[in-house]
Amino acid sequence: MNQLDALRQFTTVVADTGDFKQIGAFRPQDATTNPSLILKAVQKPDYQPLLAETVQRFRGQPLDEVMDRLLVRFGREILSLVPGRVSTEVDARLSFDTQATVARAERIIALYRAEGLPVERVLIKIAATWEGIQAAAELERQGIRTNLTLLFSFCQAVACGQARVQLISPFVGRIYDWYKKSAGAAWDEAANAGLQDPGVKSVTQIYEYYKHFGIATEVMGASFRNLGQILALAGSDLLTIAPELLAQLAASEAPVARALDPEAARQRSLQAVSYDEAGFRYALNEDAMATEKLAEGIRAFAADAVKLEKLMLAA
């Protein structure tokens, strides 16, 4: 049994890509996308006709609507290849506007429905700002399932649990990146690998808290830099993995052991916490890594959305 199949014994495997032609070989249950992945895909020759076709079909419509139609077109293709769900992201430029995020999510869902796809197969991705989490709470009340992304801190995870969101995507690799850069020459790779990886430790804390207190929100580790991070989180509800790392897992037959266990988490001695808006903002502010990576992630996704719009205008 290769490592990818072994991992499936403990964890739902999700493909992290906009390149849907790569998905079939790895048989993931779900797939996730984001503006950067879609931008990367549409610059490949295989996907340029899809971009041109979508732009031509809806030429004259507002640019943001054409963008959503392009995202849904990718989502439709992905859903033809996976048995589960696809995550489609709301424009990151709306990350601090609750009502605009709700409206954009409602439109994306309406476009999926118009394609004849059941809403249960779509997760709306939203940045885990305070405003984004409140938007997700409203959408969940409507029966629209959400995936809270750009999640780097425990306080973000707790607030998402309070909002009863369907799923969170804590970013393992970007947490690792921050601590490695911060340490500079003092960074000890061996001492910060596996279970001691700062990104792995963050997701483990969140997973154990959710399982201990019976919080139904799914935990999906994301943004991996190496196989060690993935294997150290075997047992997480889901893991979303880039095709390059999926290929490495499929090529290895080294053993895979369960690292995260819900029953063990229930035996922990943990204290429940909760956040109102002021408490959330203060806790996030106290976490320099999470504050910086959240802001950086929103800026990067917003910049890639602008680049995608420029490609659409030129198509």
Q: Which residues are catalytic?
A: 125
Q: What share of the chain is helix, strand, coil (3-state, %, to 5)?
A: 60, 10, 30
User: Mind giving me the DSSP string for 72-96?
Assistant: HHHHHHHHTT-SS-EEEEPPGGGTT
What whole-number distance in Å separates Cα of residue 7 and Cα of residue 266? 22
φ, ψ of residue 213 in degrees (nearest 5) = -100, 10
User: Mind giving me the DSSP string for 5-34?
Assistant: HHHTTTSEEEEE-S-GGGTGGG--SEEE--
Q: Where are the alpha helices (DSSP H) in 167-213?
A: 172-183, 198-212
Full 3-state SS string of 106-138: HHHHHHHHHCCCCHHHEEEEEECCHHHHHHHHH
Whether 139 and 88 have beta carbons less than 8 Å apart is answered as no
DSSP 166: S
Count other C-beta atoms under 10 Å from residue 279's C-beta.
14
Whether 147 and 170 have beta carbons less than 8 Å apart is answered as no
Q: 263 CB contacts (<8 Å, ≥6 apart)?
A: none
